[in-house]
Amino acid sequence: MYFDVVVAGGSVAGLLAAREISAKGHSVLVVEEDYEIGTPEHCGGLVSIAGLEELEVIPFRKTFDHMIESAEISAPNKNKFLINSKNQKVVEISRRELDKQIAFQAQKNGTVIRVRTSFQEITNTGVRTNEGKIDCKIFVDARGVSSLIHKDRTGIISSAQYEIYADWIHKGQVKVMFDQKKYPGFFAWVIPSSEGKGKVGIAGKGINVAETLDSILEEKGNYSTIRKIFAPIWIKGPIKNFVEGKTVIIGDAAGQAKPTTAGGIFTSGMGGVYAGQAIAKFLKTNNKSDLEDYQKRWTDRFGKEFEKQIFARKILEKLDNNTINKLFETISPEIIKDISEKDDFDFHTGSIIKLLGLKGSIKTAKVLIGGEFKKLLS
Ligand SMILES: Cc1cc2nc3c(=O)[nH]c(=O)nc-3n(C[C@H](O)[C@H](O)[C@H](O)COP(=O)(O)OP(=O)(O)OC[C@H]3O[C@@H](n4cnc5c(N)ncnc54)[C@H](O)[C@@H]3O)c2cc1C
């Protein structure tokens, strides 16, 4: 069997790459090891409308759940502030449906998709799957964080997310809770899907995520769990080389999810789009620089923001609960108004700088992260 391109991983990045390559008339096979595209859903489903537009995916009615109107951010001592996020135009979508929608786009362009088919290894002429050998010119690794686990475990932390019914979940309001003792280096979240239904999750370094999430839910009040997922997330930013010979690495497999929140529908998705376009060009010209153009485009677009997010993450990892509580006391209504009006969901380090008061208090920043703080401000 021969295809110009074989993509391992039928999720957002792999399917977008396949859509772009097959749009130019090349033959593409996507192999997905799970039994259904979009399942199991390991995602909160938060994405900006601007991001979806750039990915060229206008959500179907069944993909789109609802608009997010505000985000409540709370400190370990339960002090909180509310950001009005209407201007950011963020939606909560169903990943099960979104991925199927992209699969449909790819299929319409000529992509062939096989579920319950897993990539096993690269061969001299292509790849081996559990269903046999397939020859190809280019192999695309879109296997998500599972592809990184063998390369570098140091950037991986555990996460748990439960889908629950609970009358304390309110439509339109996301919640983010910081507590360095309970979820070191990360946070807990509540993402509503509708009134009384949503996803509650946590991630953190060196913790038992299931036990921690169970105890948060016990504190919150009555709830029923309808689904549980446990997934590793990658917080170290992009890997060094997106292209290795005839292998092109995209999406979470290339570290393209945000180092601050691990959100990657947009940034990993764009990795798929840029890679797909570069591969299509390479298949025409056979010019290696066309293939390498993918890494350049992604880095031009997201490289600087990701560097800043990695530094923002370093700051968070150095803060203890007392310092976070104190920082919350310094957040004025003017800062909240400024963030509400100007924040960009996809490029959010500007808001982090404002929240940390870094511009006004260089001294605090220096104490927190030494000389490196300049990189965050640049
Ligand atoms: C708990 C949680 C919540 C999240 N919430 C958000 C959010 O709200 N917003 C946001 O933007 N992002 C969120 N993310 C991140 C987002 O889910 C990812 O960035 C995005 O799914 C990455 O897409 P991908 O295509 O690169 O990889 P994945 O979506 O990880 O897809 C990889 C695919 O490869 C398949 N695969 C793996 N190995 C093989 C193999 N050997 N052969 C064939 N197939 C294989 C897998 O089954 C999977 O379908 C969240 C992540 C987690 C874990």
Asked if pLDDT for residue 50 goes beyond 60, the answer is yes
Instruction: Give the least confident one: 4-13, 57-66, 244-253.
Output: 57-66
Q: How far is the CA of 324 from the centre of ligand 1 (A)?
A: 30
| DSSP 8-class letter at 45 | -
The mean per-residue pLDDT over the stretch 343-370 comes to: 70
Instruction: Give the least confident one: 41-50, 135-144, 233-242, 346-355.
Output: 346-355
Residues forming CATH 3.50.50.60 domain(s) in the chain: 2-65+93-152+236-302
User: Could you confirm whether domain 2-65+93-152+236-302 is CATH 3.40.30.10?
Assistant: no
- Helices (DSSP H) in the chain: which residue ranges? 12-23, 49-54, 95-109, 146-149, 209-220, 265-285, 288-318, 321-329, 333-342, 349-356, 362-369, 373-377
pTM value surpassing 0.85: yes
Residues forming CATH 3.30.9.10 domain(s) in the chain: 156-234
| DSSP 8-class letter at 240 | S
One-letter amino acid identity for 77?
A: N
Residue 9 Cα: closest atom of ligand 1 = 34
The dotted CATH code for 156-234 is 3.30.9.10
| Residue range 285-324, pLDDT digits in tens | 999 999 999 999 999 999 999 999 999 888 888 889 999 9
Pocket of ligand 1 (CB under 6 A): 8-14, 31-34, 42-47, 118-119, 142-144, 146, 159, 161, 201, 231, 233, 251-253, 257, 262-265, 268
Residue 201 Cα: closest atom of ligand 1 = 1
Cα-Cα end-to-end distance for the chain: 51
**Whats the size of the chain, residue-wise?**
378
Query: Locate tokens 């056979």: which residue?
Result: 286
**Cβ count within 10 A of residue 250:** 33
| Residue range 89-135, pLDDT digits in tens | 999 999 999 999 999 999 999 999 999 999 999 999 999 999 999 99
